[in-house]
Amino acid sequence: MEELYLDKLISYPRTDSDVYPKDFDHNSNLEQFTNHTVYGVPSSKILKGGTATPTRGRKDAGDHIPITPIASVEISNSRLNTPVKLKVYDLLTRHYLALFYPPAKEMKAELGFNINMEPFRAHNLDCISPGYLELLPEFAPKYAKLPTVTQGRTYPVMEVKKEEKLTTAPPRYNDTTLVQLMEKKKIGTKSTRPTMIQILLDRQYAQRVKKQIQITPYGHGLMANLETIWSSFLEPDFTRHVEELLESILEGKESQQVVVDGIRGEFLTLFDAFRSKKATITRSMQAISLQGKRNGKGQVITQKREQLSTSDCPFCGKARMKVVKTHKGTHFLACTSETCKKNLALPKKGRISFLKTKCLICGFSPIRISTSKNKHPFTYNLCPNCWTRSFQESENKQGFCKNCAIGKIEYDTCQAKASKVDELH
């Protein structure tokens, strides 16, 4: 939606408002859609009724109008240059037009039978008039018609089915239901809620399993640790409390300085508590990465262990180094010692594995990089320590290539010549 807003196709998207101000000119806004190949017919139909009045929403945040299409562009327009932008623009426009349509009319029906003096009932929902669902058919419930029967007539029982069912746990959240829960708990806004979910996925606190969003062992571990020091902060009431204070500024009930100072003080108190437990939380989270996790059936799923070097850190010499993967998909080596904060660079692409040999130049663990080029797989080896040093010592800040004779590794063994080793030492 941000791109649609920057292209001046929709109004400001970061709002929870769904109530229009009384002076908003809907007729002028609808007029520009009357010649549209898709939205022209419903727009003209609305304007024929005179002054367009939308269905009133439930929340007036007081900051901006509801998210509204403010420019009419055809489906083939260059500003709708991605499938996502086209889909969002189409949904927002149809939703806006649907606000001026009448409600859908439905009919509930019940069919009753007595079989051996036992009452049986069948229910259904049928659509009499689609109303606004004519523009939003994807939001329509599933309608079904009951068979036509004559009251008082006897009908034969053709088949009896017996079903045995057990109670099941509530369904897991998906993107839609999780956003709805966040809205109910007043967490975030329409624009920020999907971003919050994506951050949890990027940081591996949650994961998508098919269409479901499930908490990972890291997520469970983080929650368990934070609950011991930030229990009040983790509750939705805290976010609601902060947003209510911000609303009080908007309404003129509180001064901005008083509210900001109060919220800052609460955050700093919580942050100090977190810092005091940082070392404990770090060790706990590291331990989780070495444990297995269980699926919904309680079966243990083997979780990949941390990739550790076969030799100690070349900086502190006290602990192994581990492969760290960033949210962008790149890698680097980090010392596992809490007192050593040194890192080693790694190539941006490829799958990494440590070799059992040692580099004859520096004594550190060489690695193998498995990747592909021109759709053909290939591998190469290098020493991360020597490679990082070559960046630092080179005048043009470029490291040696994988084919360089210095420290070249073949057949899982370092091929550095004695003369080169002596020269570098």
The model's pLDDT over 43-58, given as tens digits with 9 standing for 90+, comes to 999 998 877 889 888 8
pLDDT of residue 298: 42
Nearest of 234, 247, 384, 398 to residue 321 by alpha carbon = 384
Length of the chain: 425
Q: Are 343 and 333 in contact (CB under 8 A)?
A: yes
- Which has more pLDDT, 164 or 414? 164
What ranges do the domains of the chain cover? 2-98, 105-139, 175-288, 308-424
Q: Residue 153: exposed, middle, or buried by beta-carbon count in 10 A (0-12, 13-18, 19+)?
A: exposed
pLDDT of residue 289: 64
Token pair of 193 as six digits: 């809620």
Nearest of 283, 291, 289, 233 to residue 263 by alpha carbon = 233
Task: Please report which helix (H) or strand (E) contains residue 113, including its range.
Answer: strand 105-115
Side-chain-side CA neighbours of 243 within 13 Å: the count stands at: 13
Q: Are 342 and 358 in contact (CB under 8 A)?
A: no
Q: Are 72 and 32 in contact (CB under 8 A)?
A: yes
The answer, yes or no, to whether residue 35 has pLDDT greater than 80, is yes
Nearest of 189, 35, 24 to residue 100 by alpha carbon = 24
CATH 1.10.460.10 fits 175-288, yes or no: yes
Given its phi and psi angles, is residue 90 left (phi above 0), alpha (psi -120 to 50 degrees) or beta?
Answer: alpha
| DSSP designation for 265 | H
Q: Cα separations (Å) of 256 from 78, 252, 260, 263, 422?
A: 43, 9, 6, 11, 67
pLDDT of residue 211: 87
Please tell me the distance from the alpha carbon of residue 286 to that of residue 305, in angstroms, as a whole number: 10
pLDDT tens string 85-132: 999 999 999 999 999 999 999 888 888 888 888 898 888 888 889 999
What average pLDDT does range 361-388 have in this prediction? 86
Q: Return the number of other C-beta atoms located less than 10 Å from residue 335's C-beta.
A: 23
pLDDT of residue 301: 42
In one letter, which amino acid is 334?
A: A
In one letter, which amino acid is 332?
A: F
pLDDT of residue 111: 86
- Cα angle for residues 161, 162, 168 (degrees, 5° grid): 125
- Non-local CB neighbours of 40 within 8 Å, separated by 6+ positions: 33, 34
Residue by residue, DSSP assigns 371-409 as EEETTEEEEEEE-HHHHHHHHHH-TT--PPPTT-STT-E
pLDDT of residue 391: 76
| Separation of CA 391 from chain center | 36
What average pLDDT does range 385-400 have in this prediction? 70
CATH number of 2-98: 1.10.290.10
Average predicted confidence (pLDDT) for the chain = 82
pLDDT of residue 161: 85
The answer, yes or no, to whether residue 338 has pLDDT greater than 90, is no
Give the predicted TM-score (pTM) of the model. 0.48
- Which has more pLDDT, 317 or 423? 317
Longest dimension (CA), the chain: 106
Token pair of 253 as six digits: 């009930």
pLDDT tens string 122-163: 888 888 899 999 999 998 888 877 788 888 888 888 888 888
Please tell me the distance from the alpha carbon of residue 319 to that of residue 330, in angstroms, as a whole number: 23
Lowest mean pLDDT among 72-76, 102-106, 132-136, 397-401: 397-401
pLDDT tens string 202-218: 888 999 988 899 999 88
Please tell me the distance from the alpha carbon of residue 271 to that of residue 172, in angstroms, as a whole number: 31
Q: Cα separations (Å) of 214 from 15, 196, 227, 396?
A: 28, 15, 19, 46
The answer, yes or no, to whether residue 414 has pLDDT greater than 60, is no
Q: Are 394 and 405 in contact (CB under 8 A)?
A: no
**In which band, very low, low, confident or very high, does the pLDDT at 422 lie, cut at 50, 70 and 90?**
very low
Side-chain-side CA neighbours of 414 within 13 Å: the count stands at: 25
| DSSP designation for 366 | P
